[in-house]
Structure 1
Amino acid sequence: MSAPARTAGHVRPRARRSWARSLALHTVVIVIAAFVIVPLLFALVGGFKDTSQLSTNPFGPPSPWVPENYTVPLSSGSFWRQLLNSVLIALATTLIVVGLSAMAAFVFARFAFRGREFLFTLFTMGLMFPFTVAILPLFVLLRMLGLLDNPLGVILPQAAFGLPMTIIILRSFFRTIPREVEEAATIDGCTSFGFFLRILLPMARPALATVSVLAVVASWNNFFLPLVVFNDPNWWTIPLGVQQFYGQYSSDTARILAYVVLAMVPALAFYSVAERQLIGGLTAGATKG
């Protein structure tokens, strides 16, 4: 057999393996996407039906269309109040957790002092305790401080429980910044805080965007803590609003589907805008060095 023939014979199996691997990868991606997209489409279309249509024709198009399932909640003041409450709590939580974590991560990453690793380990131990474990002492503490039915009763605990993961992410990123950059800033008369504020934070923008997205999503999806803290309906968030709506219209499945879709739209819109920042921040720390 000639050399070109042997080369072609080796290339063909390799190309077939590559094609099979690509096909398997695309199949897995399509299956996973179907598990996510199909329920969303079912809820979206089902919200335009009534409950009898869902029983007789669950997967077909609405006939007739019932847009009132969407328009009635949108014309309700309670839905918009719950939406604003969720936005307020999420933004306040994010500002606190990112601000405090950035300063703590800067100290852990750029300063050497006795007990540094021990203190950092204490922060990382916070990842070992589920939020639900602390709910009873946390409720007693919030009641003693008068923070029940107060947005701070949700914002401060959320920020506290968000610190460990955020500090770990930011510390890893801050440690990738070359020492030469800090030394050059020091020679130019920049203080440690000036270096942190004027140089390090702008360089860490991808990592800050990443932890901000994670903090917003975690706060938006939090159900248990607002349920414990808020008795006043005026402070209910979107997850509590969904639960209340389900309890009120438990027999009207189509209307519940429409409300759930409306509750998901802000989070999906935010994630679609922040997706690039999230992926860029997660990969930036891995590629620096």
Structure 2
Amino acid sequence: MSATTGNSWLSSAVEPGAPIDRRDKPQKWGHPFTYLIALLFIGGCIAPVLYIVLGGFRTNSQITTSPADLPHPWVVSNYSNILKSTTFWGEFANSLIVAFASTAGIVVLGLMVSFVLARYDFKFKGAMYSLFAAGLMFPMVIAITPLYIVIKDLGLVDNLLGVIIPQIAFGLPTTVIILVPFLRAIPNEIEEAAAIDGASRLGFFFRMVIPLSLPGVVTVGILSFIGSWNNYVLPLYILNSQANFTLPLGVQAFSSQYSADTAKVLAFTSLAMLPALIFFSIFEKRIVGGLTGAVKG
């Protein structure tokens, strides 16, 4: 093929006014000031965490004399002693029970409520959706006193259920707001085809709705788990005995008991927050994808 023929073929292949594919061209870097601000923000977020983790490998004298230096020598006994403690693992188990139970309740109930709000028309549908949206502006701290009275009347004080049930209730607004757009985006043609094939409403829900809305379900599940794991105010009011403490309460109790041993307190704090950090780091892309993605028909 001659050069003239090749050029004429190329010019005919690209129509006038057609968009040019620029995917192969290198992307331009942004302004350096933007990256500087981003690095400062990242450093401000990571620095306290690193200080707490490294502080657990120091002695109290090291923290007092050189708080900004690396541990020298590294003291591993602060962490090993806590990992040998039955109290720590008991509080860890309580946190797992509360987090998994709360997450399961939030995801299951939130998915069912979102399905009804997204796929069916009924009276006061808009008012119900607005009620869940208003729940985002009603933090648990405001309702903690009447909530404690209700929990006390139910006989759930110093009981893990007294923490799980309110967490499910307060986690539903965020779940509904996230999941309703996912369920609305499912094409009606899919539901009609499922009905023609003989699938009931429940069959369509389990076979089609849940798989198609899985990114949103994973997102709300991760957010619910992390929020439950880090919850401090509700367990503080509801749980009294140390046998039922979750890790946030365990950190507070440990800090009071060993207030003079700063290094050991930092080690306990590091171990308490480590599971949530690992969990969030693993599923970070899932959270972003679930919040920004859309269901494809």
> Given the alignment of the two structures, is residue 166 of structure 1 paired with residue 172 of structure 2, yes or no?
no
Aligned counterpart, 1:85 = 94
> Given the alignment of the two structures, is residue 186 of structure 1 paired with residue 195 of structure 2, yes or no?
yes
1:138 and 1:116 map into 2 onto residues whose CA distance is: 27
1:272 and 1:264 map into 2 onto residues whose CA distance is: 12
2:48 and 2:138 map into 1 onto residues whose CA distance is: 32
TM-score w.r.t. the length of structure 1 is 0.90
> Given the alignment of the two structures, is residue 150 of structure 1 paired with residue 174 of structure 2, yes or no?
no
Larger mean Cα displacement after TM superposition, 234-243 or 23-32: 23-32
Aligned counterpart, 1:39 = 48
Name the SS for the 1:104 alignment partner: helix
> Given the alignment of the two structures, is residue 273 of structure 1 paired with residue 282 of structure 2, yes or no?
yes
2:199 and 2:158 map into 1 onto residues whose CA distance is: 45
1:206 and 1:62 map into 2 onto residues whose CA distance is: 42
Aligned counterpart, 1:241 = 250
Equivalent of 1:21, from 30, 33, 37?
A: 30
Aligned counterpart, 1:216 = 225
Cα displacement (A) at 1:171: 0.5
2:223 and 2:32 map into 1 onto residues whose CA distance is: 32
> Given the alignment of the two structures, is residue 117 of structure 1 paired with residue 126 of structure 2, yes or no?
yes
Cα displacement (A) at 1:47: 1.2
Cα displacement (A) at 1:288: 5.1
Aligned counterpart, 2:267 = 258
Question: Structure 1 residues 19, 284: closer, same or farther in 2, change over 3 A?
Answer: closer
2:287 and 2:75 map into 1 onto residues whose CA distance is: 37
CA RMSD of aligned residues (A): 1.5
Structure 1: tracts of 5 or more residues without a match = 1-17
Name the SS for the 1:113 alignment partner: coil
Q: What do residues 160-219 of structure 1 show as CA deviations (whole Å, max 9, x unaligned)?
A: 001111011110111111111111111111111111111110111110000000100110
Percent pairwise identity: 45
Name the SS for the 1:60 alignment partner: coil
1:228 and 1:73 map into 2 onto residues whose CA distance is: 25
The residue type paired with residue 248 of structure 1 is Q
The residue type paired with residue 98 of structure 1 is V
- Structure with bigger helix share is 1
TM-score w.r.t. the length of structure 2 is 0.87
Name the SS for the 1:190 alignment partner: coil
